[in-house]
Structure 1
């Protein structure tokens, strides 16, 4: 079993006026086979949680713990976290001019597994993953995210997810900027990953539309750097109808 456990996590960022606390005591446990959705208004700290788990240097953990299968994630470098089984799909994937998708994927796979995949089977695996993400095989020769549409960036990340095969996937607004067709493709990819049974998913989103295609086991309402409410998938329907107003008012 794989378990990502977050206990009393406090995170701050440096501002012109000094350190500002963003996360104010987050507690969350994601076990394999579980899909968790985090929803909340802009500025509530959802992305800060994702980047803190991944080890972004902009964010300073000032308290609490994050463990994966009992191992201290916060003591790991970013690459060690990836090798341990963590995966982050970013809200705004960065461009990497001059590095082809093919080379990027093979280098990442080699770094995570500790050995290079066999070329013949790897090419087949990459082409199959791209096809399932509704991307043409020629896509592998393009520079990473350079000139990609929003849908191509997010579908490329789903292909990465499939090929790198982590224990826990953290998906930061992976539905952002997607049309309905791309949303369905991305959702199908997340569901394929989740249905493996031994995987955990932390899905961060503003809107319930992706939750029509990805059914979360747990929904967490994030407000002012904390979890304000928790429930099952029915909580997402409640948020769709009522919004976040009662939670934001309570946090003031």
Structure 2
């Protein structure tokens, strides 16, 4: 039976220098395993807040609503429990981890998520295959996580983790930002492999339609001022490309 990630009337705020600011104002979204949902919208509309709230970032305060994974309360889970339950976040700005090699990081993460260490022979083969597919030089295996990586290399490294850790649901927070055309195609191919191989459910956050030429969404949701202002099929993304977000901004309450 396929898994379901449900977001119900989610309300989230954050502390700022000017006091508490509400970001999400009642978001409803249901993603079934194997579906691809694109979330689009102008800057400051709450897209990244949604991503980090799902992942469990302590900066974001949940004021109301629910996030459920197969009926289980995600908001009651710690960050590591969410990962073990099958949730994955590819960050817009992946962090560097000095002193920890990619090889050690990946194997440690895989062991923590699965509850047992992967067999060395198969694991080494899987890592090499995934790196080859993402056109990553084998030297990256022994380099510290993201340290000294270019923006495009960091994004490929995120997708390497996605392919190897095999979550049920992945949130990609503007994975396309800062990528040239070649890197965008390689990253998109990696996401599509994970989707097809593992029946990955995908929440793809983006400003632009260019990544949607390579990763075809089943549903498109427009975020404006912390709410879903519109939703539809892939054709909605094409309309946004032509018209922008002005009509939502003028009518948003």
Match of 1:17 in 2: 18
Is 1:151 the counterpart of 2:161 in the alignment?
no
1:199-214 map, 5 Å: 199-214=200-215
- CA deviation string 1:52-72 (max 9, x = no partner): 000000000010000011111
Match of 1:176 in 2: 177
Structure 2: gaps spanning 5 or more residues:
none
Is 1:129 the counterpart of 2:130 in the alignment?
yes
Q: How many residues get paired?
A: 252
Is 1:225 the counterpart of 2:226 in the alignment?
yes
Is 1:53 the counterpart of 2:88 in the alignment?
no
| Deviation for aligned residue 1:201 | 0.3
Check the 8 A contact 1:2/1:199 in 2, yes or no.
no
Check the 8 A contact 2:27/2:226 in 1, yes or no.
yes
| Deviation for aligned residue 1:17 | 2.3
| Deviation for aligned residue 1:136 | 1.2
- CA deviation string 1:87-117 (max 9, x = no partner): 0000000000111000000010011001111
| Deviation for aligned residue 1:195 | 1.6
1:52-71 map, 5 Å: 52-71=53-72
Check the 8 A contact 2:166/2:198 in 1, yes or no.
no
Q: Which moved more, 1:171-180 or 1:128-137?
A: 128-137
Match of 1:92 in 2: 93
Q: Within 2, Cα distance between the matches of 1:115 and 1:37?
A: 34
| Deviation for aligned residue 1:197 | 6.2
TM-score, normalised by the number of residues in structure 1: 0.98
Structure 1: gaps spanning 5 or more residues:
none
Match of 2:30 in 1: 29
Match of 1:140 in 2: 141
Q: Within 2, Cα distance between the matches of 1:120 and 1:195?
A: 24
CA RMSD of aligned residues (A): 0.8
Q: Which moved more, 1:46-55 or 1:125-134?
A: 125-134
Check the 8 A contact 1:222/1:228 in 2, yes or no.
yes
Q: Secondary structure at the match of 2:197?
A: coil
Q: Within 1, Cα distance between the matches of 2:125 and 2:137?
A: 13
Check the 8 A contact 2:105/2:145 in 1, yes or no.
yes
TM-score, normalised by the number of residues in structure 2: 0.98
Check the 8 A contact 1:2/1:198 in 2, yes or no.
no
Q: Secondary structure at the match of 1:63?
A: strand
Match of 2:120 in 1: 119
Q: Within 2, Cα distance between the matches of 1:94 and 1:197?
A: 26
Q: Within 2, Cα distance between the matches of 1:100 and 1:241?
A: 44
Is 1:240 the counterpart of 2:241 in the alignment?
yes
